A and B are shown apart, each in its own frame.
Chain A
Amino acid sequence: MNDDYQDLIELSDFYILSQRYDEAIKVLKKAKKIKNTDWRLYYNLGIAYEALHEVNDARAAFRLVLKLDPDHKSAQEHLDTLIDE
């Protein structure tokens, strides 16, 4: 189960790096059904949503990252930028 989750997160990294953000979101939604307490899941979701300018979803995702890891600097920076927009 955990291996499947890890594979999906890695696949989402690959899709993000290939600028295939819609596909990254699809696999992250699958991953969320397996485990929903990992900040990496929400961070990648935030990145993919932000790339697609879906700012409300991106903000919500980065807020969840900060809930799980309050010291996550990059999530805070992305959130600040999205609030300024």
Chain B
Amino acid sequence: MKQFVVIGLGRFGSSIARALTEKKFEVLAIDKSEAQVKAMEGVVSQAVVMDATDEKSLRELGIGEFDTAIVSMGDTIEASIMITLVLKEMGVKQVIVKAKSELHAKVLKRVGADRITFPEREMADRLAQSLASPRIFDFIEVSETYEIVEMAVPKKFANKTLADIKLRDKYRVSAVAIKRKIPYSTPDGSTDFKEEIIVGPGGSDEIISGDVLILLGCNEDIDKLKNL
């Protein structure tokens, strides 16, 4: 099982530690604040009060054996740089660091960070994207020109098959999957629904009003679909 160490238990650090634990990973959470560590006790596999800038203590904990470290000390730039450097020297395979600014990110890359994250900026980008196109629920940038989006079907697609719509020929995008709400009667006589995913749909699959399409295509072609 993959093992994670999360250093810095502020809002971002504690959220990611919780989320990884919910996904059944082993998580060691570290912070120098006793209160922050206490809040994570019983939530993660192990929570330790420690000053993570102390290299000796990190070594004693065997941090070098961990697959991935997440350093979330955005407010103390110097500490996050030092910890990143030490973690890489200790042999942690992947070090992901929360950065405060572009300059901070640049220094982190130089000292060996494998991935830099700007949680507020990334969240803001997602929110802006969903506000700009209310029919887009989520997106993943595959490359500079390609993306995968989760999109509510345009009304004009309803009750047509994928072959009728000619997604690939006319709109130059591929349907990766269809997410559909399947209604059913509950024992008390009312209605509810459960979600079903049709992976790799074929031309004969029909689109129903309310479906969510997961599409892969280049940004320009996806933009055209958003405006339908």
Is the C-beta of A53 less than 8 angstroms from some C-beta in chain B? yes
User: Min CB distance, A22 to chain B, in Å?
Assistant: 7
Main DSSP-derived SS at the B contact region = strand
Do A47 and B210 touch across chains, with their CB atoms under 8 A apart? no
Residues of chain B within 8 A (CB-CB) of A13 are: 185, 190-191
Main DSSP-derived SS at the A contact region = helix
If A47-B192, A47-B193 touch, whether A19 touches B152 (CB-CB below 8 Å) is: no
User: Min CB distance, B159 to chain A, in Å?
Assistant: 10
Do A21 and B191 touch across chains, with their CB atoms under 8 A apart? no
If A51-B210, A52-B210 touch, whether A44 touches B183 (CB-CB below 8 Å) is: no
How does the 8 Å CB contact mask read for B132-169 relative to A, with 1 for contact and 0 for none?
00010100000000000000100000000000000000
Residues of chain A within 8 A (CB-CB) of B212 are: 53
Do B186 and A74 touch across chains, with their CB atoms under 8 A apart? yes
Is the C-beta of B209 less than 8 angstroms from some C-beta in chain A? yes
- 8 Å CB contacts to A: which residues of B182-211? 183-186, 190-193, 208-210
User: Min CB distance, B168 to chain A, in Å?
Assistant: 24
Question: With A13-B185, A52-B209, A53-B210 given, can you name 13 additional A-B contacts, CB distance below 8 Å?
Answer: A16-B183, A19-B181, A19-B183, A21-B209, A21-B210, A22-B209, A44-B190, A47-B192, A51-B210, A53-B137, A74-B186, A74-B190, A74-B192
